[in-house]
Structure 1
Amino acid sequence: MFHTPDYYHNISMRLSKVLDDIGVNENIVMKRRRTNLLEETIVTITWRANGIQGTVYNLGYQSEGTTTIGLKSDTDTLGCLDDSIVIQDWSEWPPSKRNFLMIQNETTPPGYCLLQLLRSDAPLPITDETDNDFVKDMHGRILFKNTILDTVLPEGHQRQGPSAASAAKPGFYASDIVIAYPCKSWPQSTRAWLHQQETNTWPTAEMKRYAKSTRCFVVGVGSRASENAAFEWRLSTSLAERCLMFNLNITQIKCYILMKMILKTYINIENLDNESYISSFMCKTILFHCIASKPSCVWKECNIINCLNYCLFTLNNCLLNEHCPHFIVHENNLMASKFSAEVKQQLLERMSILIPFDGISLFGIQIDNLGERLQIKLNMINEVRHDIPQPDKCTMDVTRVLLKNIAQTVFNIEMIGDGSLETLLQKVIQLKRYYRAGDMLEKTACRLQLPLLCTSIGSRIASQNIQMNNTVSPQALTWIEAGLDSDVASSRLKLASIMYCVGNAEIAALILSHIEEQYKTEVTEPMCVCYEFYRHYLKTGFGRLSSQYGVEALKYIVAFCVKFFTSEINCVPHELQYEMFRSTQEDLLHRGEDDDWMDCAVVDSLPYLYFLQYKTYSFLQRPEEQQQALNKLGWVIRTEPNLGHRETALNLLGQCMEQENRPVGALQSYMSSLNLRERNNAARFHICRCLANINS
């Protein structure tokens, strides 16, 4: 490879330890991968339980485990539309699907294709244009334009290549959502790689066999160098590439992460579209080529500097030649028309200071304090800064975010669909099927989602019972009992709410007392997915337990918000029912496409716990405990930083104040609520009523 100076070994070993400390170790890499695979399984099952024919894949650096906290890698989601299929020839045509015929000829750039629309009832082409997304070419073929993706962009997203991209904001990473169509089989242009005889042992025959079993997709973006970019679709072998990434050893992963850090610190120039000229995907591709061309014995931690040197040298050669071949579709040059001669010269000048790479440049990398950490390991710095996180904290920071992501994904099961009892029962049937026939990931996904659905079904049945005869049937209680362990509090709070509404205050008080014992404020994290809001931090205790127990900790240290649909209105005290009618006609104009939750009564678990205690102890005529509950309600509103529905908690507090004959305090609560959410807030009604009562 290169002549290796003696000190390379020492720097490499210390560098490897630094990367271990910031979370680039086998334990954290596997945690990231398992969590992301579980997350994509949960979302896929949720889609299918709601009648959406699709499969979700989490791709990119978060799911590969090839990132760190400081790199702030975006989240990449590929949504495959399974009701469509792309075929290579007529023999593959399936009935009852939206069919496209892949066209690759001398006019389509390598790695790209055209899609011809076919009939779903017979293996024949469609000959008439159906709408603006389909255009007839000079051969009479109806071609599918990739510009259709511009018309389905979610709110807050912009088109960026094949993806709908949302920018990073406080508390949220940037995200890319790619809509993909599955291929019936691997395209001809990608099959050569599967049968290619390698001089080296990587990728192994076993890896290629597995890669062959994965799906290929087409995604909506044309070649930069093409005049027909609006009609072209790029071939995606992202699942095969994920297979390759999952088979890297930890040294190769460390090398890749270092390449990304060096790019971000020293090399990258962003273009007018805020897209890097040298992408992380290019780095990944270069790493693949380097691994395939060098013996496996080279890739060990005592040789990281040497490995990095070779990768950077290879990148420099690609830049010089403006040629970076895709690892699977070799004819596809990732650098084709990527940058001008001027930009190329700038990039080469920046690369020149790094080659040959001696490791000194690493000292200047501020991402994850890598440079400073390395200098400390090499005894170049005597005083260690106290604000540099220790390894245990890095592990805890990663794992608590992973558990938070899983919790939010689980809670989405109820957010899709019309919320009717019939719909929920259908979801349960679907989940039971997946559980019986599924693998371990699918079983875990179903086990996490079912309790929330069971509670919701029981609550809807109870609401019907209460409306008819003010009692709760054994059937409703059986469903609710099946869902009590969904999390620390939300399902039990629904049961307590039901008991209060039918006058069983003693039982309600016992349930609430049990919830309060289980809800450890120093570790339990409120969890809401109704909308995006900035989380100030995740609690240290939450992080500690999440790193110890993983996803199984969800039911002990997560408290979902309590959500009542209008079909559950009889299970809700009248003070909370106002939230179901929070919007005036004018307010409705200020809602977003994801604001359907505003038709429900939604409240964070801990404030609702204290509110229900206040109401229950009032009913039981226990004034001292009632006042304690009121004080706790005010305390949690002031001190819990991550409440998703603080305005609702303030509205409940205000109504308690009114019942205490403290109208000034009530008005202050309502005004504070209105300051948090100016529109679609029941506080407006409460203020009017409160003022009317004062004036009367």
Structure 2
Amino acid sequence: MDFLSENVYIDAGFQHLCESVFVRLLQIVGTSIQVAIRRETTDINEMVERRVADNDDVISMESGSRREGFRLEGSDLDYMYWLNDHRVIFDMFQSEHYYTENKTLILFDNSESSPGFTLLELLTPTTNRKVQSACVPMNARLYISSSLYRQDIQAHPFPGSITHGPCESGEVEGIEYDFVHCFASDFWPRSASSWINRCHSWPDREVVNEIVRNGCHFVPIGHPIGLHEQEEWRISFSLAEHKLVHSMNHCQFLTYGLLKIFLKEVIDKQSEETNKLLCSYHMKTVIFWVIQQNAVPLWCSQNLLAGFWVCFKLLLKWVYEGICPNFFIPENNLFLSKVHGSAQRKLFLQLHGLYKKGLVCLLQSPSIKSYINNVLYNPRLSICTNEDRMMSECDHDKELFSEIDGNTSRSPRDLDHCIKYFHTIELMIGEPLTQYQVLMLQRSTANILQSTAFTLHNIYTNTGLNKQMYIADRMSCHMLKLAAKFGCISDMMYIAMFFCKTIRYREALYFTEMIKVKLAQPGLMYRRHVDPERYTEAVGGQSWSTKMRQAVAYDIRLNNYTCYINELTPEQQFALLDNIKLDIPLFVVLHFVEFLCYRHIDTTLAQAALEELQVLVHHDSGLFIDDVDRDISWEILGICQQMTGNLQAALHSYQQSLTQFPWNKIQNATQMRIQELHFT
């Protein structure tokens, strides 16, 4: 291996070095179990949402590195959105697959476009105003302009959001996001048919068939030097790429992770002039080609760096030639608009300089450096690559319950929609599911039961039909208690909210007291906060279902299509306009409900509950209130203060709410409450 420096052992020493880096990557990227948890919980969440979606819904899909299973520091949050009632077809024969009364058809037309790009012709009428306003006439036909659609559809959800390529980009509490609105096709493009024929050894035929069956997407960005840059759309293979990454073995996935780290910590640090020329998509493309071409005979921990080096050499070759072939459509050169001319030459010289150093160039990576040095200076160092011994039971549980929380967010719009969710989950229970997906469905069922209980109550409130109200009330109580029985500790909070809403204050307080006892347990796992030793002592070795019931608590997420607490109606209504669910810290809701109940029972205890809430909101440093939830936390404190007549304190709290990051989209409700104070 001529690329190794003289300081690296070629045989056993080289394997030792590979294993050391392998262990470090397990720590940074995750074990195979952690990665499986991330992927499978996301998959089952999207599967449920896709099946309950109505024809006129907007479909969302997480994409990018997080969907692939990465949780690297600085990883983007990427989402794709498309209209469920619009579909792209590649020829007129494919229109036979659709009932055009409820589907708008769009025709693929790449007759004047470069490989990987196309024009989209509107074939059938659309009622969507954003699509209508983006249409432009060309050659006696109507085409959807990518630039106009991108401009019209972007909602600028958070302050500072900008247009970046086809995406709407920005940053939320240090996490960058990319949202892209696109169109979907149920068919595989003929321009990518050569890829199907190349798949002899990887991926296997089952994966290939699934990828082709799932079709592709079209994102609003034209070819930079195309004839119709403002009107063209780029073919996106995001869904196919997820499937390919998921079909990698874990060593291949870790190698992909190492390439991403190497890009960020080494290549991008060479000079400001070249640090934007390469991106993680190029790294993904490299490893796809290397795996498919069988350039590495064995992908395993002892050979990890050999795989990395083959990828690096291919990248170097591409930069030298100025050609990076898209994995699905090789004629589409991903370097065409950036890596050329003097910038290309400088980038090649920098990469070649790293290449001449051999694997020692990895010492420039702060994340990897110490692990390489340990082996270089301690060749007899014992290294354990057993994943099970690296991660504790608590660490894996924390990963699992965190991912479940992040992927459980059901918002049925009405009772019929609730029933549709139940029916979907019922059907899915009979399908082959992983243990993580079963737990995910369990959590989802609890969530739907809670939404249904409040929806049912709100339907029959004030109807004057006492018998129906009584029956609905019994059913709601039963559903909430059932959800708490197989949900987690915080699910009891919904029972307390329900009793508070239905003027059964003592029953509500009974549950808040029970919740407080459970939250005081030393082994509690609240979000990602946990004492590993005490958690293991409390529930170690038990089933995940038992652990979730006895030791796990989440924040409270309100489905804004139904009312949970009357005093939060304005906040829910304004958040609903932005299609946002209210995220409220559990301990804030706890003190809020106590305050609302004690006001009717004992004013002294009501004041005590308010003081506890005030101390929490004023002084918590992130343990009980996440930064993005400070807007609603200050808001609730202000509501309580206003109810006690302390208008000055309420005004201060509302003003504080307005200064927080607008995660819950309640600024209009806050402004409305401030106006009320001025007229009080």
Deviations 1:96-128 (A, max 9, x none): 2211221223x310111222221359xxxxxxx
Aligned-residue offset at 1:408: 4.8
The residue that corresponds to 1:69 in the other structure is 72
The residue that corresponds to 2:215 in the other structure is 215
Counterparts of 1:337 and 1:31, CA distance in 2:
38
Aligned-residue offset at 1:400: 4.6
Counterparts of 1:330 and 1:495, CA distance in 2:
57
Aligned-residue offset at 1:298: 2.8
The residue that corresponds to 1:342 in the other structure is 342
> Pick from 474, 478, 500: which aligns with 2:475?
478
Counterparts of 1:565 and 1:464, CA distance in 2:
20
Question: Which residue type is aligned with residue 133 of structure 1?
Answer: A
Counterparts of 2:274 and 2:285, CA distance in 1:
21
SS in 1 for 2:578: coil
Counterparts of 1:143 and 1:73, CA distance in 2:
35
Question: Which residue type is aligned with residue 411 of structure 2?
Answer: I
The residue that corresponds to 1:386 in the other structure is none
Aligned-residue offset at 1:492: 4.1
Aligned-residue offset at 1:181: 2.0
Pairs within 5 Å for 1:467-506: 473-484=470-481, 485=483, 492-497=492-497, 499-500=499-500, 504-506=504-506
Counterparts of 2:374 and 2:456, CA distance in 1:
58
The residue that corresponds to 1:150 in the other structure is 151
Counterparts of 2:501 and 2:135, CA distance in 1:
56
Counterparts of 2:240 and 2:23, CA distance in 1:
30
> Pick from 120, 123, 132: which aligns with 1:118?
123
TM-score (norm 2): 0.78
1:88 paired with 2:103, answer no
Counterparts of 2:223 and 2:502, CA distance in 1:
65
Counterparts of 1:327 and 1:597, CA distance in 2:
38
The residue that corresponds to 1:135 in the other structure is 136
The residue that corresponds to 2:24 in the other structure is 18
Aligned-residue offset at 1:161: 2.3
- The structure-2 alpha-carbon separation of the partners of 1:336 and 1:180, relative to structure 1 and needing over 3 Å to count, comes to same
- The structure-2 alpha-carbon separation of the partners of 1:410 and 1:250, relative to structure 1 and needing over 3 Å to count, comes to closer
The residue that corresponds to 1:636 in the other structure is 616
Counterparts of 1:360 and 1:266, CA distance in 2:
12
1:560 paired with 2:566, answer no
1:162 paired with 2:166, answer yes
The residue that corresponds to 2:35 in the other structure is 29
Counterparts of 1:648 and 1:538, CA distance in 2:
25
- The structure-2 alpha-carbon separation of the partners of 1:673 and 1:87, relative to structure 1 and needing over 3 Å to count, comes to closer
- The structure-2 alpha-carbon separation of the partners of 1:204 and 1:564, relative to structure 1 and needing over 3 Å to count, comes to closer
Counterparts of 1:345 and 1:620, CA distance in 2:
77
Aligned-residue offset at 1:145: 1.1
Question: Which residue type is aligned with residue 427 of structure 1?
Answer: H
Number of residue pairs aligned between Structure 1 and Structure 2: 625
The residue that corresponds to 2:383 in the other structure is none
Deviations 1:248-293 (A, max 9, x none): 1122112111111111122238999999311211111111111222
Deviations 1:406-427 (A, max 9, x none): 435534516xxxxxxxx42022
8 Å Cα contact 1:458/1:480 also seen in 2: no
> Pick from 41, 59, 62: which aligns with 1:58?
62
8 Å Cα contact 1:424/1:453 also seen in 2: no
Counterparts of 1:502 and 1:458, CA distance in 2:
13
Question: Which residue type is aligned with residue 514 of structure 2?
Answer: H
Question: Which residue type is aligned with residue 606 of structure 1?
Answer: F
Counterparts of 1:565 and 1:491, CA distance in 2:
17
- The structure-2 alpha-carbon separation of the partners of 1:449 and 1:44, relative to structure 1 and needing over 3 Å to count, comes to farther
Pairs within 5 Å for 1:177-256: 177-196=179-198, 198=200, 201-256=201-256
- The structure-2 alpha-carbon separation of the partners of 1:610 and 1:61, relative to structure 1 and needing over 3 Å to count, comes to closer
SS in 2 for 1:229: coil
The residue that corresponds to 2:518 in the other structure is 518
SS in 2 for 1:317: helix
Pairs within 5 Å for 1:423-572: 423-438=413-428, 439=431, 440=433, 443=441, 446-461=444-459, 463-464=461-462, 473-484=470-481, 485=483, 492-497=492-497, 499-500=499-500, 504-520=504-520, 538=529, 557-561=552-556, 568=563, 572=566
Give identity over the alignment, percent: 17
8 Å Cα contact 2:555/2:586 also seen in 1: yes
- The structure-2 alpha-carbon separation of the partners of 1:118 and 1:621, relative to structure 1 and needing over 3 Å to count, comes to closer
- The structure-2 alpha-carbon separation of the partners of 1:492 and 1:655, relative to structure 1 and needing over 3 Å to count, comes to farther
Counterparts of 1:338 and 1:324, CA distance in 2:
11
Aligned-residue offset at 1:642: 0.9
Counterparts of 1:273 and 1:144, CA distance in 2:
36
- The structure-2 alpha-carbon separation of the partners of 1:149 and 1:449, relative to structure 1 and needing over 3 Å to count, comes to farther
TM-score (norm 1): 0.76
Pairs within 5 Å for 1:391-402: 400=398
Question: Which residue type is aligned with residue 480 of structure 1?
Answer: C
The residue that corresponds to 1:98 in the other structure is 104
SS in 2 for 1:193: helix
8 Å Cα contact 1:42/1:445 also seen in 2: no
Pairs within 5 Å for 1:318-337: 318-337=318-337
8 Å Cα contact 1:525/1:538 also seen in 2: yes
Aligned-residue offset at 1:165: 2.1
Counterparts of 1:492 and 1:222, CA distance in 2:
51
1:671 paired with 2:652, answer yes
- The structure-2 alpha-carbon separation of the partners of 1:182 and 1:411, relative to structure 1 and needing over 3 Å to count, comes to closer
8 Å Cα contact 1:69/1:398 also seen in 2: no
Question: Which residue type is aligned with residue 247 of structure 2?
Answer: N
Question: Which residue type is aligned with residue 163 of structure 1?
Answer: C
SS in 2 for 1:76: strand
Counterparts of 1:267 and 1:236, CA distance in 2:
26
**Which shifted more, 558-567 or 298-307?**
558-567
Question: Which residue type is aligned with residue 151 of structure 1?
Answer: D
Question: Which residue type is aligned with residue 312 of structure 2?
Answer: L
SS in 2 for 1:677: helix
- The structure-2 alpha-carbon separation of the partners of 1:481 and 1:278, relative to structure 1 and needing over 3 Å to count, comes to same
SS in 2 for 1:113: strand
- The structure-2 alpha-carbon separation of the partners of 1:379 and 1:683, relative to structure 1 and needing over 3 Å to count, comes to farther
SS in 2 for 1:177: strand
SS in 2 for 1:230: coil
- Which blocks of at least 5 consecutive residues in structure 1 are unaligned? 122-129, 382-390, 415-422, 528-536
SS in 2 for 1:100: strand
Counterparts of 1:392 and 1:655, CA distance in 2:
52
Counterparts of 1:231 and 1:611, CA distance in 2:
52
Question: Which residue type is aligned with residue 182 of structure 2?
Answer: A
Aligned-residue offset at 1:61: 1.4
Counterparts of 1:236 and 1:242, CA distance in 2:
12
Aligned-residue offset at 1:38: 3.2
SS in 2 for 1:69: coil
Counterparts of 1:42 and 1:273, CA distance in 2:
45
Counterparts of 2:612 and 2:548, CA distance in 1:
24
SS in 2 for 1:276: coil
- Which blocks of at least 5 consecutive residues in structure 2 are unaligned? 5-9, 380-388, 660-666
SS in 2 for 1:294: coil
Question: Which residue type is aligned with residue 646 of structure 1?
Answer: S
